[in-house]
Copies of this chain bind each other. A is one copy, B any other.
Amino acid sequence: MPAPDPFNRKCATRVVLDRVGDKWAVLILILLHDEAHRFNELRRRIDGISQKMLSQTLRSLERDGLVHRHVEATVPVTVEYSITPLGKTLYAAVDALRVWAETHLKDVETAQKRYDRTNEKPARPLRKAA
């Protein structure tokens, strides 16, 4: 893994960024930070996630050591997912983003409206209509 030069492909930072870019991963991390959950609990909790993505994302998180998977050998098997200590440290950073979002949402929206008002004046044909 190369030195921390985010402008080179495949640098450490990019790897993490890609994981954070995964919206499902972040949401799962937030949920598990509060308490452990079972598979279908998560499924119901997270609006719009497919079973495939949930499964897939959980495996990634487990692989990265951010989430722990505990299998209970009951009759219909029971699986519980919980956040690991490492996961909690990432959660802290991610949470900073959440806070930023809530703090500056208004500013962003204002900027967007301004931009749209200024630039979205199309309908001025550059070349004469045919």
Contacts and interface: CB of A to CB of B under 8 A. Distances in A.
A86 B114 CA distance: 15
Interface residues of A, number: 53
Given A14-B23, A100-B89, A108 B65 contact: yes
Given A89-B100, A93-B100, A97-B17, A115 B63 contact: yes
Given A6-B30, A86-B107, A111-B64, A100 B16 contact: yes
B21 A105 contact: no
Nearest to A112: B63
Number of copies: 2
A125 to B, nearest CB: 21
A52 interface: no
A26 interface: yes
Q: Which of A15, A17, A89, A90 has the most CB of B within 10 A?
A: A17
